[in-house]
Structure 1
Amino acid sequence: MKTYDLIIIGGGRASNLAKKAGNLGKKVALIEKSSLGGTCANRGCVPSKLLIAYADVIRSIESSQKHFISSEIKEIDIKKIFENNNSFIDSVDDSYKSKLNENVDLYRGIGSFISDKVIKVNDEKLTASKIIIATGTKPLKPPFENAWTSDDIFPLDNIPKSITIVGSGFIACELANVFNALKINTTLIVRSETLLSSEDKQIQEVFKEEFSKYVNIEFNTTIKDAKYQESGFTIELENKDKSTKQHKSQALLYAIGRESNAKDLKLENTSIQVDERGFIKRDEYFQTNAKDVYVVGDATGKYMLQHAAAYEMNHLFKVLYEDEKQALKFKYMPHAVFTHPEIASVGLTQKQAQEQNLDFIASKSIWKASAKAQGMKIDYAFTKFIVDKNTYEILGCHMIGPQSSTMIHQVLTLMHIDNDIRHLKNMLYIHPALSEELLPAAINAIKKIEESNEKN
């Protein structure tokens, strides 16, 4: 049996922790069953956003007429686009591997527990004083043979002429936007009337209206059956009124959620516990029920976002090697949806604030104040604040419009340092930058609070 200071199962964001521990002289075993970099770098955030960049250019050209510019797209070299994307994916593993030092032993295979402190990988047994589980998640398996998940399109060699995507969350919407923009015949199947159900209701409504202008969406619809032949799928769609119709598509992709990878770990051989969904339980210092065995990132099922996992990894490193005594508590967790239109959100939605019986105001402000925004020739973009009426604390902020994922960082900074929306009103803005839109949004929210307090 080989003995290490640290064993890490999962080479996504945790590979950075392995590198840092190795730099301290710790002997580290890093176990990864596929490519280093994890889902984000290989099959998720990064390659999908590289494709979205192409989609954004296409959308911009297609909308040039509203700027009194006549333009046309003569050719979209889809093959070259995906070759470029695939090339990036091919480079990820070597890029991550090159950052590891001589103190880190890389094991390619599935790591599983023999006991709380003994790991088996490729018929070798390893042990360490500290073990980190960072095994992430995987897409839920499609119900039909030959149907894809997001894992199957990164890399993508056989580009379909048509694709049907099942789902209504951010992965389904982002991929539908990309394939549609690339002129691949795209249909999105949604079992309800809602897209992005976790967003604020007003964001949902505007997004649905704008997104539907581009992507063909079958709402209130499920797939009753799907048969695959060499030419593709023959799909039987069923509406909520039980009426059916046939639909053909070369590719069928399911983006209906993700599940834990914990089954691979053979946790039944340990004292480590999982919750009812199969995700690994932990305390506020990331520790599982087994002493000195920690779990971080998506494997916990809590915040399945890359930036959350990276933040947790950094804090766990401090706990293990820098004598950090404070537990990590996420007060605010931001996210973005990189579609057309783009969305960014942090904190509570209006519905959540109501359900918690909070004393708040909700204020929606259309992007009109900035000449930069006016120059974009859009009329749907807005910022919505949910603000505590007594403390002026921002409880939630929701944006829909170009560069929302960038603009919201000004709000995030405020929320993390001194969360009082009056600071947004009093600060100096570059005129006429797009972020200047936050000034009238803050003024409107403060005005609503003052009017409400005067009435009371």
Structure 2
Amino acid sequence: MADFDLIVFGGGTGNTVASAAAAEGLETALVERGPIGGLCLNRGCNPSKMLIQHATVANRIREAEGFGIDATIDEIRFGEFVRDVNDELADIASAKKENKREEVNLTLFQEEARFVDDHTIETESGETHTGEEVVIAAGSTPVIPGAIDGLDDVEFLTSTDAIRLEEPPERLVVLGGGYIAAELGYYFDAFGTDVALIEMENSLVPREDDDVAAAFTDIAEERHDVYTGYRAAEVTESGGEITVTAESEDGESVEVTGDELLVALGRRPNTDGIDLDATGVATTDAGFIETDARLRTNVEGIRAMGDIADNGMFKHSGDYEGEIMIDNVVHGAEREADFTALPHAVFAEPQIGAVGETEAALDEAGREYVVGRAAFTDTAMSRALKLDRGFAKVLADPDSHEILGCHVIGHEASMLIHEVTPAVRYGLSADDLANTLIHAHPALSKVVMKACADVSGN
């Protein structure tokens, strides 16, 4: 007989599934080696965006002269606000832990654990526990490539370390050019760090639509040393200085030096960290757990969600999966997940917001489309905000004008993209957004309206 009706392996978004199950009377185990709340609350979205806001405030003060306002920054209490941010979130995680310990029918194992077989786990203290049902929500971990010579011999930062630095480095070398590199590069630059980014693709944020990636790269080059098309080959350290040797495909090499090295080459599913090989759960070539639309694995009674499942490595997709999981595991529903119109955002400067397909994806699929564009400078609000760049781009079916994708780079793009997300989700057309929906004037959202209108030439 199983010890528990349900074992939830992972206390990030999985903690909400555990609580919902316990509240319905299921004997539930929650296994989490770190603080409750997981990556997003403790090491990811929450602290990074809170810190980035400090950078944005500093930069807005520096831009005040453009509005006829004389303002100076007398002091930046960098270490103080870094501690404040991390302490605030640590208090929230601690409160979550105490709440879990008080919940009826819920047992919290806050320690390392691993699978012994399909439905059995062994904790660090040597106890074994079985669950009739298991939800694997064990998250992800930073990618640390083994192919870079010397990387194991130097001290480097991951994003977890970077957001806890209490002094900005003088010179920071970043391996990678994705959203983590873009965001943290912007953050440290705002506080005086000379930042260099090394990205093997031909642009920064290479998973974005090509036009957005190119525009962001141009802007990033104004504040950073950017090496696109270069792959890090070797890392050495001498006298406290770290040197990265990077090579291009045609054999050209560059040496980039700094006081600190940040490895921001993406994240990988934490399947090896929990001994998933002891189970029969199937994974992809990249190590993600394979799930069906109901988030079930190939093993009866085992489901997976969050970063460890191959459905989108975002907190908002994880929250959505949590809702599906609660309905299916706790309430016996047969709800299917639908990741159509899953938006995402990059919180650098400028922000990026995107939903749906990119041009490259549509080209690869052989699908025809038309493009609508509008510049932020085409809107009245851009004059109020003194914006001199940024654009919205809409991809639509050439006949019906159904929106296939939308990509925004510019001020508050993370919010503007939600103007289009419902349209992509429910198959609305660019004409619907441009001509039927009334936009408040002179709200910045009119840049999206104008891009939609451009699809049909209105």
- Among 139, 144, 151, the alignment partner of 1:141 is 144
- Alpha-carbon separation, structure 2, partners of 1:440 and 1:200: 19
Aligned AA (1:326)? R
Matches within 5 A, 1:306-455: 306-417=315-426, 419-424=428-433, 425-447=435-457
Distance 2:30 2:266 in 1: 27
Which deviates further from its counterpart, 20-29 or 7-16? 20-29
Q: How many pairs does the alignment contain?
A: 448
Q: Residues 147 and 289 from structure 1, CA distance in 2 versus in 1: closer, same or farther, beyond 3 angstroms?
A: same
After TM superposition, give the deviation of residue 128 of structure 1 in Å. 1.6
- Which of 122, 128, 134 pairs up with 2:131? 128
Counterpart of 1:5? Answer: 5
Q: Distance in 1 between matches of 2:389 and 2:168?
A: 33
Question: What is the Cα deviation at residue 350 of structure 1?
Answer: 1.5
* Regions of 4+ moved over 6 Å: none
Preserved contact between residue 294 and residue 334 of structure 2 (Cα < 8 Å):
no
Kindly provide the amino acid, as one letter, of the partner of residue 437 in structure 2. Answer: M
Which one is further off, 84-93 or 39-48? Answer: 84-93
Residues 213 and 71 (structure 1), Cα distance of their counterparts in 2 relative to 1, 3 Å cut? farther
Structure 1 position 119 matched with structure 2 position 121: yes
Q: Which runs of 5+ in 1 are unaligned?
A: 449-456
Partners of 2:166 and 2:109 in 1: CA distance: 28
Is the Cα contact below 8 Å between 2:35 and 2:97 reproduced in 1? no
Separation in 2 of the partners of 1:287 and 1:431? 47
2:72 match: 72
CA deviation after TM superposition for structure 1 residue 242, in Å: 4.5
1:267 aligns with 2:276: yes
CA distance in 1, matches of 2:225, 2:71: 24
What TM-score comes out, normalization by structure 2 length? 0.92
Picking from 240, 258, 265, the partner of 1:231 is 240
From 80, 102, 120, the counterpart of 2:104: 102
Distance 2:373 2:117 in 1: 54
Aligned counterpart, 1:252? 261
Contact 1:35 1:42 in 2 (8 A): yes
One-letter amino acid of the counterpart of residue 259, structure 2: Q
Note if contact 1:393-1:419 (Cα within 8 Å) is conserved in structure 2. Answer: yes
8 Å contact from structure 1 (residues 336, 344) kept in 2: yes
Flag the 1:19–1:219 CA change in 2: closer, same or farther, 3 A. same
Matched position secondary structure for 1:399: strand
Q: What TM-score results when the alignment is normalised by the length of structure 1?
A: 0.92
- Which one-letter code corresponds to 1:20 in the other structure? A
Q: What is the deviation of 1:38? A: 1.0
1:93 deviates by: 2.2
> How do 1:123-202 residues align onto structure 2 when only pairs under 5 Å count?
123-141=126-144, 143=148, 144=151, 145-157=154-166, 159-202=168-211
1:225 shift after superposition:
3.1
* Worse overlay, 361-370 or 385-394: 361-370
| CA deviation map 1:27-74 (0-9, x unaligned) | 110001111111111111111101110111122222333334443323
| CA distance in structure 1 between the partners assigned to 2:432 and 2:301 by the alignment | 43
Whole-angstrom CA distance in 2 between matches of 1:204 and 1:270: 40
